[in-house]
Chains A and B, each alone.
Chain A
Amino acid sequence: MKEMDCSRYQKLLSAHLDNELWEEELAEVNEHLKVCPGCTRELERLRLVQTLYKLELENKVAPQPSFDFSQRVVDLALEEGVSEGVRSWNIRGWWERIISKLKSPSLRPVAAATFIALLLIISVGIFSTFRKKERLVDVYQLASRDSKPNEEQVIDERELERYLREDVWQTSGRQLNDEASFILSVSNR
């Protein structure tokens, strides 16, 4: 039972050496170390091994970069067209910066208000489009009722449909009378 406990503590000794144990774990390991000379010895050995390999690694210094290393890397980057990439990244960079700024807590109310305003504008736009279509259809029906049965067939349905589809966005300010007279002229053709 004691051996099992020790193997669990020994796994934590390495993190103990680095001061990376949670408070509760640290207290538990320290309590164990007080009563376990084996684990205390193991901790000292690990510390010694760490000192030895650290010394060795610190002495293992790579050769100095050549004096023109940084210049060569930049030149190579330019040769590979990285600089052109940078220019295009700027646009993306701006967009990302705007998004990240909007995500910041201080600007969240502004972002929410902007979002709601955009939503309202889009909703009103869609609603008015449908309203306009309904009004045009009403006018068309009114015109059809007044015309003779055989004259109804003369109406170019496709032309009317194109008018409804293409003109509906641009004619938002046009008066209903104008629309009615157009429809009537088409239906009476």
Chain B
Amino acid sequence: MESDEKLVARCLKGDKDAYESLVRKYQQRIFNIIYRITGSDDEVEDIAQEVFLKIFKSLETFREASSFFTWIYRMTVNACFNRIRKRNPALSLDDPDLVGFVERKKLGEEEEGQNPEYLMETGELSSAIRRAIDSLPPDYKAVIILRDIEGLSYQEIAEVLERPVGTVMSRLYRARKELKERLAPYLGINSRGEE
């Protein structure tokens, strides 16, 4: 498969096929990131289209010093954040205590004490995990997805989000802590982590 750098160079010469190749190469990954961050499949194609158009328009600003996928991920994550902000202008992207982005159900209150094996069998654990992920602030969700699903290093995530590595490390820590607390009832522990 042709490298990103070569495809970008061909795009800059006005090669239509090269641009189409770039879109085909990244479309499914971009669709997945958008879907996982926004949690909505209605807007995925629309946001993806916006991302690719923006990439094509600002292709000349792409520097080979940073990798193309880091750049394309940055555009995607920012487009998701913008869409979420548009949906809810009062939303803070990194405030875990803010209620309002999605329904932030306190799982422990109603599901504590249920047998984990039973919940797993009935698919309740799966839906609880989904709800816990959906309830995370977008910034936290983004670091989790970039690290645990896309497999980016802390340095790469820092480049995508244009934040220091220390911020990435602390967001990941808080995001995982938040998820652990929300899933505590299923792990047989209380929200403070005591068994």
In angstroms, how far is the closest chain B Cβ from the Cβ of A88? Answer: 9
Q: Which residue of B lies closest to A54 (CB)?
A: B148
Please tell me if the beta carbons of B173 and A49 are within 8 angstroms of each other in the complex.
no
Q: Is B90 an interface residue (CB 8 A)?
A: no
Q: Do B49 and A63 touch (CB < 8 A)?
A: no
Within 8 A of B (CB), among A31-86: 41-42, 45-46, 48-50, 52-58, 60-66, 69-74, 76-78, 80, 82-83, 85-86
Assess whether A58 is in contact with B23, with CB atoms less than 8 Å apart: no
Known: A48-B187, A49-B187, A74-B19. A85 touches B27 (CB 8 A): no
Asked if B41 and A65 sit within 8 Å, CB to CB, the answer is no
* A64 B28 Cβ-Cβ under 8 A: yes
Q: Which residues of A contact B126 (CB under 8 A)?
A: 56
Note all chain A residues with C-beta closer than 8 A to B35: 60-63
Known A45-B189, A48-B187, A49-B176; judge A70-B12 contact (CB<8 A): no
Would you call A52 and B32 a contact (CB within 8 A)? no
Nearest to A83 among chain B residues (CB) is: B14
Judging by beta carbons under 8 Å apart, are B193 and A42 in contact?
yes
Within 8 A of A (CB), among B140-191: 144-145, 147-149, 153-154, 169-170, 172-173, 176-177, 179-180, 183, 187, 189
A65 touches B48 (CB 8 A): yes
Instruction: Check A89 for interface membership: any CB of B closer than 8 A.
Output: yes
CB within 8 Å for A76 and B13 given contacts A11-B170, A15-B172, A54-B149: no
- B11 A86 Cβ-Cβ under 8 A: yes
Q: How large is the interface on B (under 10, 10 to 19, 20 to 34, 35 or more residues)?
A: 35 or more
Question: How far is A13 from B16 in the complex, measured between Cα atoms in Å?
Answer: 48
Residues of A within 8 A of B (CB-CB), count: 48
Q: Which residues of A contact B180 (CB under 8 A)?
A: 45-46, 49
CB–CB B179/A49 < 8 A: yes
Is B80 located at the chain interface by the 8 A CB criterion?
no
Q: Is A87 an interface residue when CB atoms closer than 8 A count as contact?
A: yes
Which residues of A does B touch, CB under 8 Å? 11, 13-15, 17-18, 20, 41-42, 45-46, 48-50, 52-58, 60-66, 69-74, 76-78, 80, 82-83, 85-87, 89-90, 92-93, 96
* Selected A-B contacts with CB under 8 Å, 17 pairs: A11-B173, A14-B177, A15-B154, A48-B187, A49-B176, A54-B149, A56-B130, A60-B32, A60-B130, A61-B32, A61-B35, A62-B28, A62-B36, A65-B45, A73-B52, A83-B16, A86-B11
